[in-house]
Chains A and B, each alone.
Chain A
Amino acid sequence: MLAEIATVLAPLFLCAGIGFAWARSGRIFDAANMGDLIAIVGLPCLTYATLTKLAVEPATFVRVAGYYLVSLAAFGAVGIAALRAAGLELRTYLPPMMFSNTGNMGLPVCLFAFGEVGLALAVCIYLTNAVLNYVVGVAIFAGHLSLRSITHNVLVWSAAAALATVAAGIEPPRWLINTAVLVGAVPIPFMVVALGAAVARLEISDLPRTFALSVLRQATGFLAGWGTASLFGLEGVERGILILMSSMPAAVVNYLFALRHGRNPEQVASMVMATTLLSYAMLPFVLLVVLPGGAP
């Protein structure tokens, strides 16, 4: 079991360590431009290639996304209650409490824990979380809702195209699949290394409060995922993916949104940093629960 867990986590830790060392060495790590290229070209290719290769039916997509929404609603509600009770501003703290790093961290963990089937289901959750983060998350920071980020998002279109291809029973042409697979190989390794580089630049302020919120977030995330999986009687890969994705830390992109809308970016950065470190520490235990042969 220990060897299994090490096999899943080693790529994540090694790559993030490389990114961390790269950024700390003072060398240029151009996360901004490559991040754009990955968001506009890389991730849509990965999404299309994965969803069509594993022939993910629209019904499967909706079901898996639905499980995640239930889990998200549960840990989000706890987050809102806790922030209210502590008298903290929802506009700053709610998005990092609700929207997780299902991309940089979630996709590779699910890939290595459950192979390509795991990656395909993880992509469904990743898309759901990303759309919510870009629409609801940004709306919370900005104070108004904009749907442009859905209709102008290549990622959403690539997912729609993939689901339509599968639903229609069409075999995508090989030139398209080969290209999507080739370009789709860039996002995951780059994002894992970039996560390490991003963490190297963030700093934690207000340690006690940040730490308390982060522990609460990570604990409720895991419990919400586990509870939702039990509620619906999920097993195997679906259960594992739901619990893993619910246990992910706050998404780095929340920091960028907070920066853009002037909502205490340093507080959000602290949350991102602390939850990421916590999730590195708790992942071995989460894997113990979700890997085949692990605890029930």
Chain B
Amino acid sequence: MNRLPDLLAVLAPVYLCVAVGYFWARAGRGFDLAFVTAFAYVLGAPSLVFSAIHRAPLDAGEVAGMAGAAFLALGACAALGVGGLALARRNLAGVPPLALPCAGAMGLSVARDAFGAEGLALGAVFLAVALFAQSTLGRAAAAARWDAATLAGSPIAWGVLAALALAALPGTPPRWALNTTWLLGGTVVPVALIAQGVVLARAPWRESLAAWPIALGRVGIGLAAGLAVAAALGLDGAARAVVVLETAMPVALLWALYRERAADSDGALAETAASIVLGLIVLPGLVVWLV
């Protein structure tokens, strides 16, 4: 994609939504990140996954293919993260922000506006896998508690899992179910983008020096992992763009949220914010290249 009007049509929604969140928070207005993310991810994300898959429609094979690609891409990020941190002789506690991209915001918005219903559905499947990983492994890592209750205790994980399972059922679901889920699913992308803007406004920039290497690592590792997986699986078109974009996204909002109660909560917030800045910088290039 290289015509300016096309580019603007795909990119403007992202930058304008992030700007809304940023200026909203800078104006001193309230934004309860925990509540809003719960709304978007507990109610919105499963609804989006279910309705987008049916609207495209994707068949079970296509869903499984994208879920597998997402799984591999996130796994590759984690492996590269472990390797990178070991080489740099850093604590492996730094792996989650390197391995967990925010799949419900920039990448999903671009997928929708560039590839229509198919792009949105593929991106939603990626989002399901990413949210599942974040709300199980990411949640346990954030609390440093690896018991069953922490691993399986998030309604987000169950929601996206149920949505994938329901979407794989044969037959057409009743219209009221599609109407309801389509309505709720529409909140995910705008709310996540606005939340990213709020994170930018609230980040402790003065102490963010340590956050930039992680942010660079997140986007760099994500790009490498996404490209490798897309090439290995022979993906093209919308599927390739979705895997590369979504894997290269900034640090997940849920990571900052899960770390809120930790002693170094500012660190997670700064990492997330720094990676959002990087995401906003590289996004136009990625769109020109991939779309």
Q: Do A and B bind each other?
A: yes
Q: Which A residues contact B (CB, under 8 angstroms)?
A: 6-7, 10-11, 14-15, 18, 27-30, 32-34, 36-37, 41, 108, 112, 173-176, 178-179, 182-183, 185-186, 188-190, 192-193
Q: 0/1 per residue, B182-195, Cβ < 8 Å to A? A: 01101101110010
Chain A residues lying within 8 Å of B174, measured Cβ to Cβ, are 7
B5 with A189: CB separation less than 8 A: no
Partner of A190 from the list B29, B175, B180, B187 (CB cut-off 8 Å) is B187
B171 proximity list for chain A (CB < 8 A): none
Per the bound structure, the CA–CA distance linking A265 and B175 in Å amounts to 39
Given known pairs A11-B179, A112-B179, A186-B191, the reply for A179 and B13 (CB within 8 Å) is yes
Interface residues as binary, B25-58 with A (CB distance below 8 Å gives 1, 0 otherwise)? 0000111101110110001100000000000000
A59 to B43, CA, bound (A): 39
Q: Are A183 and B17 in contact (CB under 8 A)?
A: yes
Q: Chain B residues near A11 (CB, 8 Å)?
A: 176, 179-180, 183
Assess the A176–B24 pair: CB atoms within 8 A: no
CB distance from B79 to the nearest CB of A (A): 34
- Chain B positions 147-187 with a Cβ under 8 Å from a chain A Cβ: 174-177, 179-180, 183-184, 186-187
Chain A residues with CB under 8 Å of B16's CB are 179, 183
Q: Contacts A33-B30, A182-B109, A185-B190 known; A15 to B180 CB distance under 8 Å? A: yes
In the complex, which residues of chain A have a beta carbon less than 8 angstroms from the beta carbon of B39?
34, 190, 193
Given contact pairs A34-B32, A186-B187, enumerate 5 new A-B contacts (beta carbons under 8 Å).
Answer: A6-B176, A36-B29, A174-B8, A182-B13, A193-B184
Q: In the assembled complex, which residues on chain B have CB atoms less than 8 Å from the CB atom of A182?
A: 13, 17, 109, 189-190
Instruction: Report the separation of the CA atoms of residues A121 and B140 in the bound assembly, to the nearest whole angstrom.
Output: 49
A29 to B35 CA separation, bound complex (whole angstroms)? 7
Q: Are B31 and A18 in contact (CB under 8 A)?
A: no
Instruction: Choose one: A7, A179, A188, A190; the contact of B176 (CB below 8 Å).
Output: A7
Asked if B20 is at the interface of the complex by the 8 Å CB criterion, the answer is: yes
Known contacts A37-B24, A182-B17, A183-B17; A30 and B187 CB within 8 A of each other: no
Q: For residue A187, which residue of chain B has the nearest CB? A: B187
Of all chain B residues, the one with the shortest Cβ separation from A180 is B13
Say whether B64 faces chain A, with CB atoms less than 8 Å apart: no
A33 B32 Cβ-Cβ under 8 A: yes
**Contact, CB under 8 Å: A175 / B12:** yes
Interchain CA distance A178-B44 in the complex, whole Å? 19
Chain B residues, Cβ within 8 Å of A175:
5, 8-9, 11-13
Tell me if A's interface is mostly helix, strand, loop or mixed.
helix
When C-beta atoms are compared, the residue in chain A nearest to B40 turns out to be A186
- Please indicate the chain A residues that have their CB under 8 angstroms from the CB of B36 in the complex: 30, 34
Contact with A along B180-214 (1 / 0, CB 8 A): 10011011011100100000000000000000000
* Cβ contacts B121-156/A at 8 Å (1 or 0 each): 000000000000000000000000000000000000
**Contact, CB under 8 Å: A33 / B31:** yes
With A7-B176, A11-B179 already in contact, the answer to whether A18 and B43 are too (CB < 8 A) is yes
* Interfacial chain A residues near B13, Cβ < 8 Å: 175, 178-179, 182-183
- Which of B20, B29, B184 sits near A33, CB closer than 8 Å? B29
Residue of A nearest to B32 (CB): A30
- Check B12 against A7 for contact (C-beta < 8 Å): no
Please report the C-alpha to C-alpha distance between residue A106 and residue B112 in the assembled complex, in whole angstroms.
Answer: 28
Contact of A189 with B183 in the complex, beta carbons under 8 Å: yes
Q: Are A178 and B175 in contact, with the CB atoms below 8 A?
A: no
* CA A14 to CA B177, docked complex, whole Å: 10
Contact B9 A183 (CB under 8 A): no
Q: How distant is the Cα of A192 from the Cα of B183 in the complex, in angstroms?
A: 10
Whole-angstrom CA separation of A208 from B186 in the bound complex: 41
Question: Which residues of B, 223-269, contact A by the 8 Å Cβ criterion?
Answer: none
Is A188 in contact with B183, judged by CB distance below 8 angstroms? yes
Tell whether, in the assembled complex, residue A37 and residue B32 are in contact, meaning their CB atoms are under 8 Å apart. no
Determine if A179 and B12 form an interchain contact, defined as CB atoms under 8 angstroms apart: yes
B62 contacts the other chain (CB 8 A): no
Q: Report the nearest B residue to A41, measured CB to CB.
A: B20
- For residue B10, which residues in chain A have a CB less than 8 angstroms away from its CB? 178
CB of B176 within 8 A of CB of A173, answer no
The closest CB in chain A to the CB of B34 belongs to: A28
Q: Which of B20, B29, B183 contacts A183 (CB 8 A)?
A: B20
Chain A residue at minimum C-beta to C-beta distance from B183: A189
Nearest A residue (CB) for B23: A41
Q: Which residues of B contact A7 (CB under 8 A)?
A: 174-176, 179
Q: Give min CB distance, A283 to chain B, whole Å.
A: 14
CB distance from A259 to the nearest CB of B (A): 18
Residue of A nearest to B12 (CB): A175
Question: Which residues of A are found within 8 Å of B189, using beta-carbon distances?
Answer: 182
Q: Give Cα distance in the complex from A182 to B5, angstroms.
A: 18
Interface centre among A6, A41, A178, A188 (most CB of B within 10 A): A178
How distant is B279 from chain A, measured CB to nearest CB, in Å? 17
19 residue pairs bridging A and B, Cβ less than 8 Å apart? A7-B179, A10-B179, A28-B32, A29-B35, A30-B32, A30-B35, A30-B36, A33-B30, A34-B32, A37-B29, A175-B5, A178-B9, A178-B13, A182-B189, A183-B17, A186-B186, A186-B191, A190-B187, A192-B183
